[in-house]
Structure 1
Amino acid sequence: MNVPITKPTLGEEEAQAPLASIRTGWVTQGPKVAEFEKAVAAYVGAKHGVATSSCTTGLHLALHAIGIGPGDEVIVPSLTFIASANAVLYTGADVVFCEVDRRTFNIEPADVERRITKRTKAIMPVDQIGLACDIDAINVIAKRRGLDVVEDAAPAIGATYKGAKVGSGAHQVVFSFHPRKVITTGEGGMITTDDDDLAARLRTLRQHGMSVSDVARHQADKVIIEDYPEIGFNYRLNDIQASIGIVQIRRLDELLAARRERAERYNRELPTVRGIEIPYVPPYAEHTYQSYMLTLTKDCPLEREELMTRMLRRGIATRRGIMASHLEKTYTTRYGKVSLPVTEEAARTTMLIPLYATMTEDEQTYVIEALREELGPA
């Protein structure tokens, strides 16, 4: 049996969805993107959704739109995919890496506070692999110190924090629609915000800084010559992608339920396996389980890479957990050695195992039994 690490859930409706755009000839950013933006904003409870070509470009756009640039610092947890930190470098600002909580692996508010300087302009918390961070604690710090918050919620669409959807009531939250996420548009991202002026600025900046969109010009009954008052970017999602997203957002609750059901089975059965800990979910949060991450304890009889190799031989795909971005050459050459012991231990000892909405009972049984055979009983 072969079990992949993940698999996008796409059906016939998604396959047919782009046809309308293709037949009209409007395949770039247009009416389907606007429809998708409204659907995502309505789902999470935000006033605006601004679609982008990826979460990475969304993060860059969100930072740029609030004036982050050379001489500024943005605090980012190191335990995250490197795109979070890279988005800061794109602006010319500096990344200041911070620690994470030992149980949630999300940003540690107390450590954030310690790393604020006169140059700090923003904090970028990350909702790691679909678990909402303690955003209230971050917002308290940000408000007290006069800082902006840009929340990297790449894997967290559908996650909840204290009963509210991630993406609601926030200044800027950025989601991803990469195929590894719960829903996908192939590639794509979305910024949600309740700020009318900011949403308008984001829409202008993602389309080269164009004063009047091409959609508006095509729909006008008179000639409109646009201008370009500032430098923008080509960060557009297209209507083919958005048409798939419209179907996927309608299915989101169904897909989340399927993922959570499979995660709950892991939660019930894996504590009987030696040397591993299941994910911790605090009472204020509801996880999307973009991924299911194990922590290998000191009692684990195998090193992580050896365990991953043995699982691979059985046809089971695994991945390392979350990277420590501050250890990558991109950042060591800029900032030298930064000591983040909690992050470094987590990066060494975490491992992702297969989880996806269409995972069968037999596939999951095979994964559980393989771990039990390799590691033994607890």
Structure 2
Amino acid sequence: MNSLSLRRIPVARPSLGEAEAAAARRAILSGWITQGPEVAAFEEEFAAYVGAAHACAVSSCTTALHLALHALDVGPGDEVITVSHTFIATANAIRYCGARPVFVDIDPRTYNIDPTQIEAAITPRTRAIVPVHQIGLPCDMSPLLEIAGRHQLPVVEDAACAIGSELLVDRTWERIGRPQGTVACFSFHPRKILTTGDGGMLTTSDPNLDRKFRLLRQHGMSIPDTARHEAKSVVFENYPVVGFNYRMTDIQAAIGRVQLARFPEMLDRRIALAAKYTRALRGIPGLVSPFIPVNTCPNYQSYAVQVTNAFPIQRDVLMQTLLEHGVSTRRGIMNIHQEPAYAEEPHQPLPRSERARDGVILLPLYDAMTEDEQAYVIGVLEDLALDNNSREVQ
């Protein structure tokens, strides 16, 4: 091994630079720093990128999910079908509405919701379905939408990780967020490819839902700040509904606009790095690269590797050994039903979700990753795959 072993290779790193700093400075010096012209421009540009009719910026993907469900009248006593195998925010947003998340198991190859399990989970209390495009790999939406249509259920896509991912629909590639379902919700957290520090976006084809989102994100205020600012006569707002403080700042949006302009090159780099990992893993027994269905084009928000019994050391030992060599990893996606906050939530058996959590690692992947850094990660994995008695990792 080389001198790279002396430094830490993170699992992810946000791609921010002078252009983003200049954009934030511009917003700060403009005097308008909360939900103003930068937010409006970011919404327009984001909608154009994903091919959506409407885009509404908010403070996080969690608030986006909550707004979507709330606007669809999900409330106390209702049920929402989703997966346990995802970040806890998905279930939390359902709980915020007073509803109960109903967990179904995943496809063991994609780690996404298994559409064949949805119908059996539908009850008279079911009000929505929330599929998660896990770590940027699009779900199998066609059978899911067919089931939702027959039962007249809205579909809220948790697309937190999926900006730039594409799905083949009627022989045409469409970006996640068009959306396929009723609403799609995105995250701009620092772990995501496009970041605004934090923040989120809802996209929809329904103008009435978009109007609801815009009303609810700002305390239910009938007149937005921009309209009051531009008014030629005195106007007074009113509050027809109970809303929330879920606004995005103009500082965040200004950064997001720069990130969106740079996004194609960041995405291309990420896909190239993922391809290199995939080629390397073909020569490492016991490590299985991500399964990519032919009708999907993921953004590789994360690179998930299955650690099988053919690998000479167990998954957790592998993670610790990599860390000792300066390589950060993460476990497979968490399972909400295995966390204390949801331990008492009744659910059907979820064996595939549990195997995925305990048998997968996420390797370092970020668009600024150098060839030397990636070669080092691959080299450590190759050494560990050899008989531990034959030689020691340098």
TM-score category of the 2 structures, normalised to the smaller one: over 0.9
Partner of 2:66: 60
Q: Give a deviation string over 1:236-282, Cα, whole Å, max 9, x none.
A: 00000000000011111111100000000001111211211000000
Q: Distance in 1 between matches of 2:263 and 2:73?
A: 34
Partner of 2:99: 93
Q: Is 2:367 the counterpart of 1:361?
A: no
What is the Cα deviation at residue 135 of structure 1?
1.3
Map 1:98-113 → 2, pairs under 5 A: 98-113=104-119
Partner of 2:225: 214
Q: 1:291 aligns with which of 287, 292, 302?
A: 302
Q: Give a deviation string over 1:99-142, Cα, whole Å, max 9, x none.
A: 11011111100101111111111000000000000112211110
- Alignment partner of 2:367: what SS? coil
Partner of 1:225: 236
Map 1:141-220 → 2, pairs under 5 A: 141-162=147-168, 163-170=173-180, 171-220=182-231
Q: Distance in 2 between matches of 1:101 and 1:48?
A: 31
Partner of 1:342: 352
The amino acid of 2:45's aligned partner reads A
Instruction: State the TM-score, normalized to the length of structure 1.
Output: 0.98
Map 1:28-43 → 2, pairs under 5 A: 28-43=34-49
Partner of 1:268: 279
Partner of 2:330: 319
What is the Cα deviation at residue 376 of structure 1?
2.2
Q: Distance in 2 between matches of 1:153 and 1:166?
A: 7
Q: Give a deviation string over 1:310-359, Cα, whole Å, max 9, x none.
A: 00010000010101111111111233x64101111111101001011011
Instruction: State the TM-score, normalized to the length of structure 2.
Output: 0.94
Q: Give a deviation string over 1:189-248, Cα, whole Å, max 9, x none.
A: 000011111101100000000011111111111111101111000000000000000001
Q: Give a deviation string over 1:270-315, Cα, whole Å, max 9, x none.
A: 1211211000000000010111010011212212111111000100
- Alignment partner of 2:343: what SS? helix
Map 1:227-242 → 2, pairs under 5 A: 227-242=238-253
Q: Distance in 2 between matches of 1:118 and 1:301?
A: 49
Partner of 2:133: 127
The amino acid of 1:64's aligned partner reads H
Does the 8 A contact of 2:106 with 2:113 survive in 1?
yes
**What is the alpha-carbon root mean square deviation over aligned residues?**
1.0
In the TM superposition, structure 1's runs of 4+ consecutive aligned residues that sit over 6 Å from their partners are: none
The amino acid of 1:79's aligned partner reads H
Does the 8 A contact of 1:274 with 1:376 survive in 2?
no
What is the Cα deviation at residue 11 of structure 1?
1.6
Q: Distance in 2 between matches of 1:126 and 1:203?
A: 24
Q: How many residues matched?
A: 376
Does the 8 A contact of 1:153 with 1:166 survive in 2?
yes
Does the 8 A contact of 1:37 with 1:50 survive in 2?
yes
Map 1:19-34 → 2, pairs under 5 A: 19-34=25-40
Q: 1:309 aligns with which of 301, 316, 320?
A: 320
Q: Distance in 2 between matches of 1:192 and 1:167?
A: 6
Name structure 2 gaps, 5 residues minimum: 388-394
Does the 8 A contact of 2:104 with 2:348 survive in 1?
no
Partner of 2:386: 376
Q: Distance in 2 between matches of 1:316 and 1:109?
A: 36
Q: Give a deviation string over 1:169-199, Cα, whole Å, max 9, x none.
A: 4420001111111110000000001111110
Does the 8 A contact of 2:163 with 2:299 survive in 1?
yes
Name structure 1 gaps, 5 residues minimum: none
Tell me whether 257-266 or 170-179 shows the greater mean CA deviation. 170-179
